[in-house]
Amino acid sequence: MHQLFSCYCGCRHRYYVNLTGELCVNPRIENLLQISADTSEDIRQQVPDMDAGFDDSDRTWEIIVKTAGSLDRIRSIYTNAEFTQLLCGYWIVRTTIYNIEALATEPEIIFIEKPKALYFELYAAKSEACVNVAKAEETQYGGVTGKGVLVAVIDSGIDIGNNEFLDDSGNTRIKALWDQTTGITYSDMEINSILEDYRDGAVKTLPARDVTGHGNEVAVIACGRSGVASDADILIVKLGNSGGNAYIRTTQIMRGVDYCIRKAIEYSQPVVVNISYGGTYGNHEGGSIFEMFIDDCCSTYRCSICIGVGNEGEGRTHYSGQLISGNVLDAELAIGDYEPQISIQIWKRAMDNARIELIAPTGERLVISERNAGVVHHNIKNMRIVSKAYGPGPFYMGEEIYAAIVATSGYITSGIWDIRFTAANVLDGFFNMWLPPVSTLSRATGFLRPSPEYTFTIPGTSRRAICVGANGRAPGSAATFSGRGVNVKSGLMLYAKPDITAPGVNIRIPGNKEKTVTGTSFATPMVTGAAAMLMEWGIVKGNDQYMYGEKLKAYLINGATRVGNVWPDSARGWGELCVAASIPVK
């Protein structure tokens, strides 16, 4: 049973709220949030992108809201909701499903989306990137080491007692630290006091401890004393990971970016932010609120944000095709043994009409492309299949078809699943499909005919961010795992990702002779440190007060090392990082 409502915003849309509290159709609420709210809890909990943002303890959802104008009126009405204001007109709201539907009718609200799951970009140097030349005092570069610049690492934590993050006097180089898991922030004075007590044996453990090692390794590369920006000041955000999930939510990244930029403004220092996380959910065209937030922050204050391209390059998690009117196209998906669930996203143009069927290895078939049908639930053997077609929306001219296959007991049926497109009237025909990140799937799972292009992860898709790929072993090559992006030219308009590559294979962590790391997680801090060096040369030393954002990106690209004649390249961007050549000395 449903109750009919009319939209208060003056548009012609109408929508339904299920009396059990489930959302149906509302053009201001993203597709995945509508699906997640209309799926039983036992099914939703098994799909990370669907479950991300829901707190079982108080039955609330965390949502991301893009707004127009003040929210004072709304906050006075929704007094039982928790509002957190971010930079540039974005908010994170914690509230019930009923309030979400009501919020979507308010004129100040532009769009609402839910958090997504993000994962380490770990696949599991400095001389290559011309870092040492730029650091040398006797060279024309004057010895740039990131001094006076803030390097912000938003990751899994840090070892604050590591010598890499101490100065010559044994004091911390970390100016501020926020541990999201505890909600506690620390100043440099507080960190120094904790370190003194730790050395004296008064305390046994240090705050913001990095259990995985990922954040510590990223920070050592970017701004450790043996790293790239070895004299930079440091900001640390330890990402919260409540509930023991294996993923980080997009909202945690957004809060971290907001914190770091506000601290940079407080300290009156330029800042480079490092994000070595990514996910595959989205159309990869920069249109989600998360991606737009990153873009807007790149235009805020004296800031640059470096993000990894991801490690989906050889993961068989992307399929691209083109529909032709009247033809049938079959995209085959192998699902390995012991997969408890899998989700499939299909993104196509709204003007292209096609019937899309999901065909199980045992022959059962169901249609997943019915428009305006709301969330559709199917049962096949021991599996529940939840799907919904949605679009176009305010920030995307196309249509999304989302389907999740979840085992209600045991595992989903292994074998070859077929996604069949029967095209009717087609104008453009191009479409893309994505699976969850390769790190979450068994080795046997993936498309039989995968497309390596468009395998870059979100938020590396953000247009103003510096998107970083990993160099391969051969000169001028990209690592096979490094995600492939996009290269779109139209007159003077150019959108190319990744922007640049950096060493990311077998990187030896300073201070640990035995350990090497591989992945775009570790190529990214190379570029983060390089950006800090350029900011020191430009802003701190007074050579160019506008050395940040798009200008800094342009100088990194200008100095990149290129092998070959065709640039940009969807795998290598504009070339390989060379810090010394990027500094515009005369």
> Does the pLDDT value for residue 135 go beyond 90?
no
Indicate whether 507 pLDDT > 50: yes
478-490 pLDDT per residue, tens: 999 999 998 876 6
The identity of residue 561, as a single letter, is T
**DSSP secondary-structure letter at 493?**
E
Query: Is residue 22 predicted with pLDDT exceeding 60?
Result: no
Domains and CATH numbers, the chain: 2-115 (3.30.70), 126-313+457-582 (3.40.50.200), 318-447 (2.60.120.1290)
- Whether the per-residue pLDDT at 3 is higher than 50: the answer is no
Q: Measure the CA–CA gap between 389 and 377, rounded to whole angstroms.
A: 12
200's enclosing H/E stretch is: none
CA distances from residue 246 to 91, 378, 441, 446 in whole angstroms, order as listed: 25, 28, 13, 21
Give residue-wise pLDDT tens across range 398-424.
899 999 999 999 999 999 999 999 999
| pLDDT higher than threshold 80 for residue 360 | yes
492: Cβ contacts below 8 Å, ≥ 6 apart: none
Confidence of residue 575 (pLDDT cuts 50, 70, 90): very high
C-beta separation of 371 from 387 below 8 A: no
What phi, psi does 250 have (nearest 5°)? -60, -35
Residue 345 is classified by DSSP as E
Over residues 156-212, the pLDDT tens digits come to: 999 999 999 999 999 999 999 999 999 999 999 999 999 999 999 888 889 999 988
pLDDT of residue 47: 92
Which stretches of 285-394 are assigned E, i.e. beta strand?
Answer: 303-308, 318-322, 328-335, 341-349, 354-359, 365-367, 376-380, 383-390
Q: What share of the chain is helix, strand, coil (3-state, %, to 5)?
A: 25, 30, 45
CA angle 515–517–522, rounded 5-degree value: 135
Mean pLDDT confidence for 453-477: 92
pLDDT, position 373: 73
Amino acid at 61: W
The pLDDT value recorded for residue 477 is 86
Contact (CB, 8 A) for 234 and 151: yes
129 pLDDT higher than 90: no
Active-site residue identified among 521, 569, 570, 582: 521
Are 208 and 185 spatial neighbours (Cβ–Cβ below 8 Å)? no
Distance (Å) of CA 390 to CA 109, 372, 513 = 19, 7, 52
Residue 420 vs residues 50, 94, 138, 280, 504: alpha-carbon distances, Å: 24, 39, 64, 22, 38
Single out the catalytic residue among 38, 49, 51, 155.
155
Among 519, 462, 172, 498, CA closest to 315: 519
- Answering whether pTM is above 0.95, one says no
Pairing mode, if any, of strands 430-434 and 446-447? Answer: unpaired
Contact (Cβ atoms closer than 8 angstroms) between residue 543 and residue 572: no
DSSP structural state of residue 142: -
pLDDT over 60 at 500, yes or no? yes
pLDDT category of residue 250 using cuts at 50, 70 and 90:
very high
Determine which helix (DSSP H) or strand (DSSP E) holds 18, and give its type and residue range.
strand 14-18
pLDDT band for 15, please (50, 70, 90 cuts): very low
Q: Which DSSP string corresponds to 394-422? A: TTBSEEEEEEEEEESSS-PPPEEEEEEEE
Which whole-number Å values give the CA distances from 546 to 130, 250, 465, 541, 580, in the listed order?
23, 29, 16, 12, 19
Lowest pLDDT segment from 329-333, 379-383, 447-451, 582-586: 582-586
Give dist(CA 533, CA 459) in Å, integer. 24
Q: Measure the N-to-C terminal CA separation of the chain; round to a whole number of Å.
A: 73
Question: Do residues 305 and 465 lie in contact, with contact meaning Cβ atoms separated by under 8 Å?
Answer: yes
Question: Smallest Cα–Cα separation from 446: which of 329, 312, 321, 322?
Answer: 312
Residue 416, CB-side half-sphere exposure with 13 Å CA sphere: 7
Catalytic-role residue among 179, 214, 230, 569? 214
Torsion angle of C-alpha atoms 260, 263, 269, 275, degrees rounded to 10:
-10
Mean pLDDT of the chain: 89
pLDDT for the residue 247 = 82
Residue 140 has pLDDT above 50, yes or no: yes
| Contacts (Cβ under 8 Å, ≥6 apart) of 95 | 60, 61, 63, 78, 80, 81, 82, 103
The lowest-confidence range among 21-25, 170-174, 314-318 is 21-25
CB 347 within 8 A of CB 399: yes
521: annotated active-site residue: yes
Least confident residue range of 18-27, 76-85, 512-521, 567-576: 18-27
Question: What percent of the chain has a predicted confidence (pLDDT) above 90?
Answer: 75
Longest dimension (CA), the chain: 77
Angle subtended at Cα 446 by Cα 441 and Cα 452, rounded to the nearest 5 degrees: 110
